[in-house]
Structure 1
Amino acid sequence: MSLHENKQQKIKVVLQTKITHEGVTENFEVKTSGLKFRKGSALYFQYAEKTEAGDTQTTIKYKEYETLLLRNGAVKMRQLFRPSEITNGHYESIYGTLPMRTHTESIEHLWNENTNEGVLRLRYTLDVQGGEPGQYELKLNYKEEA
């Protein structure tokens, strides 16, 4: 299946997050499965993340110049990415809702038609509730399942 078709495609997902905050770098990795589909000019990714806090359903809506990250479940979050812009979002947990400011450095999507694999990479600075900003790189590697 190519990216230009409208039906849902099962995918294997490896989500890698690199966070650098106050000189300390942490790396996180989540492996799961999900779905990929296209609506209009947007490419959607949906998958579940299982953590100690519980399950979270994640949806990423990718467009070339704008990406929206939505999380619902144990974590509720709305984060908008636009290159070279600062956008507002929020993070909601059992402790309350925290405002977020995201300064997107870049959005990159690569697709390999031969291997049916792709990667979506977001690089950004995140400031949560006026705290010291951290540098983030979110990398969503995905592969279509047969």
Structure 2
Amino acid sequence: MESNKEGRNVDVLLQSTIRHVGQAADKHELNAEGTLVEKAGKTYLRFVEDLNGQQVQTTVKLEEEDALIMRNGAVQMRLPFTQGEIRPGSYGNGPATFDLLVKTTKLEVGADKFIAHYELHAEGALLGRHELNITYTEGQ
């Protein structure tokens, strides 16, 4: 893989399926250029999303025991993942921020993939079930 001092360049494919209670599944796909960074013995995947013309910087901490997705920009989000556990997270859009509970039902981290299946809960209610699959391959 090509390397620079910020990490290795990778092509990112993000596929997500969201099942909100009482609604049909909502599927999304995103292709982006990203960077795989090693820092303090941990691996992070970084890429930028374009959300309705606004930039969102996404960082994924790639650890099977303690993964984390952080998004900053047009959307502020922090989702921690630990298989079989419920962890506190948050989501913000503009001035409003909501506390979430993230219940991870599947977490798989490999050399070129990140898979997380999880439920999001807020104020005691199930918001939806999510399946997230991120693959990353050598970039240009």
1:39 deviates by 2.2
Between the aligned partners of 2:127 and 2:85, the Cα distance in structure 1 is: 15
Percentage of pairs with the same residue: 30
TM-score in terms of structure 1 length? 0.85
Aligned partner of 1:15 in structure 2 is 14
Query: Structure 2: how far apart are the matches of 1:84 and 1:41?
Result: 24
2:115 corresponds to which residue?
121
Q: How does 1:61-140 map to 2 (within 5 A)?
A: 61-94=61-94, 96-111=96-111, 118-140=112-134
The gaps in structure 1 that reach 5 residues or longer are 112-117
Q: How does 1:21-60 map to 2 (within 5 A)?
A: 21-23=20-22, 24-52=24-52, 54-60=54-60
Query: 2-side partners of 1:72 and 1:94: how far apart?
Result: 11
CA RMSD between the two structures: 2.0
Greater Cα offset, 14-23 or 96-105: 14-23
Letter in 2 for 1:128: A
Give yes or no for the alignment of 1:142 onto 2:136. Answer: yes
- The 2-side partners of 1:95 and 1:63 are apart by 31
TM superposition shift of 1:128: 3.3
Structure 2 residue runs of 5 or longer lacking an equivalent are none
State the shift of 1:38 in Å.
1.8
CA–CA distance in 2 between the matches of 1:84 and 1:78?
18
TM-score (norm 2): 0.88
